[in-house]
Amino acid sequence: MKEFLNVSNLSFTFENNIEPIFSSISFQLQSGWTGIVGANGSGKTTLIKLITGELSPVSSNITYHGTKCYCEQRADFIPPEHADFYQSTDRFVFQLKENICEYM
């Protein structure tokens, strides 16, 4: 199976923290569905933001094949662009909607 993501030597500390959130972590993910599971506050969102470039790591070597993006998941409001997504006839958006409905 083809390697989708390779993270090597990832370290990150928030500006006001003394202790690092991540220190020299490395892992690889294969193509397909992957889940990141952990307690609230354990660093899941921070890790995703580092991988997608929303945050800048202290050090890292991140390589990936394909497209990467960070999609914020919030349950306290509806994003203003939600109607555009649901009404879109774009092929890529259609595939996303088809995959979402398949797992609901």
Write down the pLDDT at residue 7. 92
Interatomic CA distance for residues 67 and 64, integer angstroms: 8
Write down the pLDDT at residue 101. 53
103 has a pLDDT exceeding 80: no
Angle at Cα 78 formed by Cα 104 and Cα 32, nearest 5°?
Answer: 40
Determine if the pTM surpasses 0.85.
no
- The answer to whether the CB of 24 falls within 8 A of the CB of 37 is no
Residues 71-94 have a mean pLDDT of 76
Give the least confident one: 4-8, 54-58, 74-78, 88-92.
74-78
